[in-house]
Structure 1
């Protein structure tokens, strides 16, 4: 499988991080280790762009989006099953994506342009806000159907970010939530037509760009304290029951 890498664009004060290659519409945007490194590198770039001694916290916000059918299908299972002796290391690298977004020092909005499954759904859930395509695409945690457990870290993220009963339904039934159902469940905040998802997310993010202040990451760390504590638990064979 050809690895597609994320890339960065800018719309005023809003940084738009695309999860796949520019112009590519057929990629599932799975989390290969190199993809994770590239994602973190782009977040580093976002944090540093425009920062000066005179203005250490310029207005800025972040939107993530993809193109085509998928937002993200999550884990790179081909890599994982081919390197299962490194599964704990790999899954902890995946968890680092969620921790980074939960504590990111500016507003974050996921523009869920298509399917968000498994770890990809969790990526969207790690943002402050979510705008989902209204006509097609699902947010789904299919692990129960795949015979896969949730790591301690993933369980912490989902159960802290969703209400208890929504987490029960999402995690134990593998329900596929379209935009209307996802809004009703509090999984996403808004919906938009396919050609307006990104613009809607950018508009929401731009309205919050001025909130980039030194206290914002402090607020986020306190707000997400229990999820962050769970995300910090290393993945081991003892707390990961799944075997290939």
Structure 2
């Protein structure tokens, strides 16, 4: 599901395979375990890159898995929220090297990193909830707000379900840089990671500062009202759309 390699002081976590990398417990557990390994093997100054193989970074939640049991959407939501909390608390800079489409929860996973680099020739960032009739979770919105300063751009992302290319993302301030092909994107991420490592910041201080910056996000990660206890029938109905 995931591979982990290290180049100098830069870890590269790769979601493997040619699928659309939908988020289910198996994949989320694999990513979470890799992040924990990075934390355990980190030095005082380290960086993490997250990328994926194929045409997709992640196409969101695994609908087929979730719909087989009304309780399953809660499981996926909790695992993703815990992973995002881990990334916010990770004692190092984090970089998403987005290789292709990142939709809904997959977009949220990419946004959970400090920096977002994207290939220019394929893929888009897409908060698809409005198009598919899914109520966006409050914690998704809080994370998007923390990353996007302009109200007009925020409206385009959340309330107009814009499909954001790499060039659009750079223009809108969501994407840090765009590159031709996945190899160039990852190499740019490695260079950025090495530059950040070279600053020799203390990892624990870096994580403490990030937790302060994203305190509003952390405050809402404890629950997800879209998969709460208001009724399993409602949950199943909501999840009966493509995420």
Deviations 1:195-221 (A, max 9, x none): 300000111011112324321111011
Q: How does 1:87-236 map to 2 (within 5 A)?
A: 87-163=73-149, 164-194=151-181, 195-209=183-197, 210-235=200-225, 236=228
5+ long unaligned stretches in structure 2: none
**How far apart, in 2, do the equivalents of 1:212 and 1:131 lie?**
24
Give the Cα separation in 2 of the matches to 1:208 and 1:88.
36
Aligned residues: 230
Normalising by structure 2, report the TM-score: 0.88
**Structure 2 counterpart of 1:53:** none
Residues 106-160 of structure 1, C-alpha deviation per residue, up to 9 Å, x if partnerless? Answer: 0100001111111111111110001110122101111111111111221221122
State the distance in 1 between where 2:31 and 2:153 align. 29
Distance 2:180 2:26 in 1: 32
Task: Give the aligned partner of residue 71 of structure 2.
Answer: 85
Instruction: Answer yes or no: is 1:6 the counterpart of 2:28.
Output: no
* Shift in CA distance, 117/234, structure 1 to aligned 2, threshold 3 Å: closer
Where do 4+ consecutive residues of structure 1 move more than 4 Å?
none
Corresponding residue of 2:14: 18
Secondary structure of residue in 2 paired with 1:149? coil
Query: Following the alignment from structure 2 to structure 1, what is the Cα–Cα distance between the partners of residues 2 and 70?
Result: 25
CA distance in 2, matches of 1:65, 1:17: 6
Instruction: Measure, in 1, the Cα distance between the counterparts of 2:105 and 2:66.
Output: 13
- Check whether the contact 2:137–2:224 (CA below 8 A) recurs between aligned residues: no
Contact kept? 2:10, 2:49, Cα under 8 Å: yes
Counterparts of residues 35-54 of structure 1 (less than 5 Å): 35-49=27-41
In the TM superposition, residue 15 of structure 1 has moved relative to its aligned partner by: 0.4
